[in-house]
A and B are shown apart, each in its own frame.
Chain A
Amino acid sequence: MKLLTHNMLTSHVKGVTKGYPLLIKATEVKVNDVDFNPQFVCRMIPKLEWSALVEAADLLGHRQDLPSELVPDYEKNEDFLKKVHRALLEVEVIEGCLQCPESGREFPISRGIPNMLLNEDEV
Chain B
Amino acid sequence: VGSLLMKETDSAIITVYIGATVPTGFEHTAAEEVQEKIGVDARISKDRGRIYFPISTDKLFQVHRLRSVDNLFVVVEEYDHYQFKESKEETLMELQQLASKLPWSNALKVWELNRSLKKKKGHRKGGNSTRVKPDSEASVADTRQQELPRETSPAGGDAKTESVADPESCQQDSEEALPEARLIKFRVTCNRAGDKHSFSSNEAARDFGGAVQEFFQWKADMTKFDIEVLLNIHNEEVVVGIALTEESLHRRNISHFGPTTLRSTLCYGMLRLCKPQVSDVILDPMCGTGAIPLEGAIEFNSSFYVAGDNNDMAVNRTVNNVSHIQKRRADKGSSSGLPIDTVQWDVCNLPIKTSSVDIIITDMPFGKRMGSRKKNWDLYPSCLREMARVCRPGSGKAVLLTQDKKCFAKAVSQMGGLWRKVLTVWVNVGGLHAGVYLLKRTAAVFGQTPEDVRQPRGMNTNPGSVSLDWCN
Contact = CB atoms under 8 A, between A and B. Distances in A.
B352 A1 contact: no
A111 B278 CA distance: 28
Contacts of A34: 335, 337-339
B376 interface: no
Interface in A37-57: 37, 39-40, 42-44, 47
Interface stretch (B7-15, B102-110, B172-180, B340-348): B340-348
A14 B469 contact: yes
A15 B350 CA distance: 15
B278 A39 contact: yes
Given A44-B279, A47-B356, A116 B345 contact: yes
Counting contact residues on chain A (CB < 8 A from B), the size range is 35 or more
A19 B472 CA distance: 8
Interface string A82-121: 0000000110000000000000000100011111111000
Nearest to B307: A113
A26 to B, nearest CB: 15
A30 B339 CA distance: 15
Contacts of B470: 12
B164 interface: no
Nearest to B340: A2
B351 interface: yes
Given A1-B341, A35-B301, A111 B316 contact: yes
Contact of B335 (A4, A33, A113): A33
A113 B337 contact: no
A11 B351 contact: yes
Nearest to A31: B337
Contacts of A114: 343-344
Contacts, number: 105
Given A19-B471, A20-B472, A8 B278 contact: no
A47 to B, nearest CB: 7
Contacts of A117: 310, 344-346
Interface in B351-407: 351-353, 356-357
Interface residues of B, number: 35
Contacts of B163: none
Contacts of B353: 8-10, 20
A123 B310 CA distance: 15
Nearest to A34: B337
A5 B341 contact: yes
A113 B339 CA distance: 15
B467 interface: yes
Contact of A10 (B281, B310, B344, B472): B472
Interface in B296-327: 301-302, 304, 306, 310, 315-316, 319, 326
B471 A5 contact: no
B248 interface: no
Contacts of B344: 113-117
B351 A2 contact: no
Given A33-B335, A115-B344, A5 B278 contact: no
A16 interface: yes
Contacts of A15: 469
